[in-house]
């Protein structure tokens, strides 16, 4: 079991969050004496599956670690413990954009546009360097409301967990933000990230998701086949141009 007092050489300070695939910690790097965020990925795999995962893990981490952009969280280090793989990355003060939206705060239109532009610029940079995020959503956007700093987290994580999807048949990630080709298991390109950004922008502008349903199959069908309600139907006071986003 993972020792929560330390992960590799890093000394755990606190738990920042927990999900189905692992836990995110705030930790201290005693060598460089700086705060880092540590994301763990649970490894409940057979010997053969683990060997395949390790190859993919280091390949994807290496690709994501090359990214150097002011709106992308920097990856410092990767490694493994007995039960988990981990990624050490830049620690960002602030909170996920999801928490800001869930709190009921309505961001000004100008700020929403600034967020969209910053995320789009970061994605363009990543795509030019051959890296597709695959899980763009408010939970993966770290947001500092006062200073306005914004960073995309978890580059490469969704691809690392794809192997689990093929074994279990489970759609990983957040389906409401996923592109039709992702939900259908087809090849994913940077266009999928842009689709997810569009869904996120729609939610920031209207306070709700463009596609909603009572079941996963119905949601997947709506995303693949149904048009979304125009933004100005839900918020008539917005400028005419927002429906063209």
Residue 175, pLDDT score: 85
Higher pLDDT, 169 or 54: 54
Query: Could you give the percent of the chain with pLDDT greater than 90?
Result: 41
CA distance 6 to 34: 15
Using one digit for the tens of pLDDT, what is the confidence trace for 191-211?
999 999 999 999 999 999 999
Query: What average pLDDT does this structure show over 63-72?
Result: 90
Which residues are within 8 A (CB) of 216 and not within 5 positions of it... i.e. 6 or more apart? 171, 175
Q: What pTM did the predictor assign?
A: 0.85
Asked which of 38-42, 48-52, 162-166, 202-206 is least confident by mean pLDDT, the reply is: 162-166
pLDDT at residue 226 greater than cutoff 60: yes
Examine the residue annotation and report whether 214 is marked as an active-site residue of this protein: no
Exposed/middle/buried for 121, CB within 10 Å: 0-12, 13-18, 19+?
Answer: middle
Helix (H), strand (E), coil (C) string for the chain: CCCCCEECCEEEEEEEEECCCCEEEEEEECCCCEEEEEEEEECCCCHHHHHHHHHHHHHHHHHHHCCCCCCECCEEEEEECCCEEEEEEECCCCEEHHHHHHCCCCCCHHHHHHHHHHHHHHHHHHHHCCCCCCCCCHHHEEECCCCCCEEECCCCHHHHCHHHHHHHCCCCCCHHHCCHHHHCCCCCCHHHHHHHHHHHHHHHHHCCCCCCCCCHHHHHHHHHHCCCCCHHHHCCCCCHHHHHC
Q: Of the listed 29, 135, 154, 193, which one is catalytic?
A: 135
């Amino acid at each position: 079991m993972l020792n929560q007092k330390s992960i590799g050489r890093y000394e755990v300070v606190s738990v920042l969050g927990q999900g189905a695939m692992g836990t995110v910690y705030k930790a201290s790097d005693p060598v460089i004496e700086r705060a880092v965020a540590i994301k763990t990925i649970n490894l409940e795999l057979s010997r053969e599956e683990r060997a395949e995962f390790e190859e993919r893990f280091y390949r994807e981490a290496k690709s994501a670690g090359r990214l150097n952009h002011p709106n992308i969280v920097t990856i410092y280090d990767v490694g493994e413990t007995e039960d988990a793989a981990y990624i050490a990355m830049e620690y960002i003060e602030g909170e996920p954009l999801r928490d800001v939206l869930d709190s009921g705060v309505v961001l000004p239109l100008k700020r929403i546009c600034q967020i969209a532009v910053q995320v789009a610029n970061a994605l363009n940079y990543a795509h030019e360097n051959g890296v597709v995020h695959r899980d763009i959503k408010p939970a993966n956007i770290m947001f500092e409301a006062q200073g306005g700093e914004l960073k995309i987290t978890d580059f490469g994580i969704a691809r690392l967990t794809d192997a689990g999807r093929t074994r279990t048949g489970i759609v990983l990630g957040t389906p409401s933000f996923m592109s039709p080709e992702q939900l259908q298991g087809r090849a994913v390109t940077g266009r999928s990230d842009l689709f997810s950004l569009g869904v996120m922008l729609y939610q920031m502008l209207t306070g709700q998701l463009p596609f909603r349903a009572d079941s996963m199959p119905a949601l997947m069908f709506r995303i693949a086949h149904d048009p979304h309600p125009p933004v100005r139907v839900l918020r008539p006071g917005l400028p005419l141009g927002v429906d063209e986003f």
